[in-house]
Amino acid sequence: MVLYKYINQPIYSFFSNFKRHSDNRPEVCHNCRGTKFHGHGWRRRYVHHNGQDLHILIQRFKCCNCSRTVTILPSFLTRKFIRSVDDILSHVRNSFYGLKNTVARQVSTFYRRRFLRHLSPLIMLLNFHGAHLSLPEKENEKAIKAIETAQVQFPNSLSESFFRNTNKHFMAY
């Protein structure tokens, strides 16, 4: 089991040398509640964002007590997805609008289905953070409104807030 911690770090700060940021240590181990960690190296991670392919470095720590690894993920990403959250949301929104997507239809359908599983917790999260959404009845209109609100309310930070509030990775099965 790998543990995760999301950090709110904008994507551009990864373009140059991200290794400068060293204040992203986990505070507590979600497995054993231990509070001591040692660095466990960096892993290259492939990211697709806004038509660009990037490689960024992801920092890992190891709990000194139970030896579990904690991966530090920036909140513009979500676990297991190469595409940035912003990209995913844009594709889903386009697909609900019936616009042509730049991703294959199967990918678009997959994103949309996954997103719909997360629509209710997302709406709860948005409302909890003061959005007070008055939502349309139709599912696709509801989804569009939630996405557009999330893009404004959580730029670069949806995964972190989502994980903190639901204990789930955004878009995870």
> Of 4 and 18, which CB lies nearer to Zn ion in the complex structure?
4
> Crossing angle of helices 105-117/85-97, nearest 10°?
100
Residue keyed to tokens 């989804």: 143
Q: How many CB atoms lie within 10 A of CB 2?
A: 9
Which listed residue (13, 31, 140, 166) binds Zn ion by CB under 5 A? 31
Contact 72, 61 (CB under 8 A): yes
Among the listed residues 19, 21, 22, 10, the one whose alpha carbon sits nearest the alpha carbon of residue 47: 10
The counts of H helices and E strands in the chain are 5, 4
Does residue 155 bind Zn ion (CB under 5 A)? no
What does the block give as tokens for 144? 């569009």
Which listed residue (14, 26, 29, 163) binds Zn ion by CB under 5 A? 29
- Give how many residues touch Zn ion by CB under 5 A: 8
Does residue 70 bind Zn ion (CB under 5 A)? no
Contact 88, 159 (CB under 8 A): no
- CA–CA gap between residue 134 and residue 145 (Å, rounded): 9
> Of 16 and 167, which CB lies nearer to Zn ion in the complex structure?
167
Q: How far is the CB of 67 from Zn ion (least distance, A)?
A: 7
Stretch that binds Zn ion, among 65-73, 92-100, 113-121, 135-143 (CB under 5 A): 65-73
Q: Tell me which residues in 44-63 interact with Zn ion (CB under 5 A).
A: 63
Does residue 32 bind Zn ion (CB under 5 A)? yes
Stretch that binds Zn ion, among 31-39, 42-50, 123-131, 144-152 (CB under 5 A): 31-39
Does residue 34 bind Zn ion (CB under 5 A)? yes
Residues that bind Zn ion (CB under 5 A): 29, 31-32, 34, 63, 65-66, 68
